[in-house]
Structure 1
């Protein structure tokens, strides 16, 4: 090989200064932006956080409002905070579905080979999902206002209820990311997720006052974390939320994160 060829080869292979390694926060935000780009390219992914919540609110308000409260207006005041909770929590199942989809397609293997903090893709994906929770909550509140709902605590109360619901949803989403790494297919994750979230949601005070239920069922509904979250959401919108209930909701979100986030990271690394 000639000297010129050697020089050309050395020039081509010469190492340039290595760029600084991305921080954990920067990597997580990048993966969060990846989730936003997926939505931009496939806008249909937002149907579950836009059309579905509106359908639930319309159906329950106008089909059952007169029978339960005697007035659709009064029932709207009761059910809207509950529908807000339900719509956001249903969306958490898709965190596990999306993670399992990346896993089955081999995308996770590529992420694990990158020189980044190992939990960054997981945390980034959940940060991106948080935007979906925000969209679902805003759609419910805005559409409720169009139908005539007026929170006594005004805009600050509605925003506070939305914020607490999103914090709880963030903690719950770690449960479904764990499922996403344990089960074999996205459809299995979706089925298992909704089998868990549906009974907890409907056996709560989202739709009816627990005092109208049989004693045994009422006792379960009263301790159901989703019931407590719905109660806090109503209280914040009405301006009379109890600090004890709010503490239980936040403590539950922290506990779910503390238990399932390390478990998810461990499964991810394996």
Structure 2
């Protein structure tokens, strides 16, 4: 039984009927009079090698819970900007292009730290925030995470390669933090280069070693292709003027 079949079986066992959206191929179901459009893409990537029935059941729990969110869980201090590939069929309500293939998206992190959801106008209405105020909060919260984070560096081919230790479950977003410089300057220098193939994967190194990108390329491609929450194979330069994509590692061609 594949992921799609297991998902449909789980829905049926719980008494939910569904249809398939002809345009997107997503599952459509109604929970508490709210219609949900569910993509299985990330789940299928996560379970590509082994279909875990319990994991699918937890996914269904999350889908059902999304139809009746606990508004008491919303808090301005858990708003963040996160990184997302820009190939989603439906765009987030609040997103800004970072590069040709990546957007920063306004998200909310649940109090338990396990659920990451795109922010909607309804969430901002509940919080009593304007879009600008929410954006400011999101950047400030990333800065707080940088303050609490630790940078470790290991020499690879004579170049210090930085790894960030943080409780934030999407550490890739830290490259958007206004105060990133204070975290990296002592061990890596400034400006820096970065790769974020997955939302919880981040490598950093000094921009004076730009050619070092070739050394991390195979790791970036591997992490990107196997991750259920892939972002991009791009390489970024981060300096006082902000963040800019300066190249990308090519993906292997799919066999015919």
TM-score with structure 1 setting the length: 0.23
Give the greater-gyration-radius structure (CA).
Answer: 1
Query: Which structure shows the higher helix fraction?
Result: 1
> RCO (CA 8 Å, sep 6+): is it higher in 1 or 2?
1
TM-score with structure 2 setting the length: 0.24
